[in-house]
Amino acid sequence: MGLVLRHLLGWTFILLGVVGSLLPILQGWLFFAAGALLLAPEVPVFRRLFCWIEQRFPALKKPLGQLRRRFDRKSSPCQPEE
């Protein structure tokens, strides 16, 4: 997926997530999560968010790792904090 397309889709989903948090008919968290997943390889804030989720909820580490490998083939897993 091209970098421009990834950013366009990611920021669109983030915007829909914000709108969805205000409107009861949209699932805001779902759009926000999809946008964050698309933007995580290039935007450090979202990369740190996914690393925090993996550390806080170990059961989600394997599924998030699979998604990370699917969307960003060159990314490395989260490094443990010292």
Q: Is residue 80 part of a domain?
A: no
The verdict on pTM exceeding 0.75 is no
Q: Is residue 48 part of a domain?
A: yes
- The predicted-structure confidence for 1-22, as pLDDT tens digits, reads as follows 688 988 999 999 999 999 888 8
Q: What is the pLDDT of residue 74?
A: 58
Q: Is residue 77 part of a domain?
A: no
Q: Is residue 31 part of a domain?
A: yes
Q: Is residue 55 part of a domain?
A: yes
Q: What is the pLDDT of residue 82?
A: 44
Q: What is the pLDDT of residue 51?
A: 83
Q: Residue 53: enclosing H or E segment and its boundaries?
A: helix 44-56
Number of Cα atoms under 13 Å in the Cβ half of residue 17: 15
C-alpha span between 71 and 43 (Å, rounded): 14
Domain that holds residue 48: 3-71
Q: Is residue 82 part of a domain?
A: no
- The predicted-structure confidence for 22-65, as pLDDT tens digits, reads as follows 888 878 888 888 888 888 888 889 888 888 888 888 888 888 77
Buried b (16+ CB within 10 A) or exposed e, 18-35: eebeeeeeeebeebbbbb
Q: How many domains does the chain have?
A: 1
- Which residue, among 19, 45, 41, 40, has the nearest Cα to 30 in the 3D structure? 19
- The predicted-structure confidence for 33-43, as pLDDT tens digits, reads as follows 888 888 888 88
Q: Is residue 65 part of a domain?
A: yes
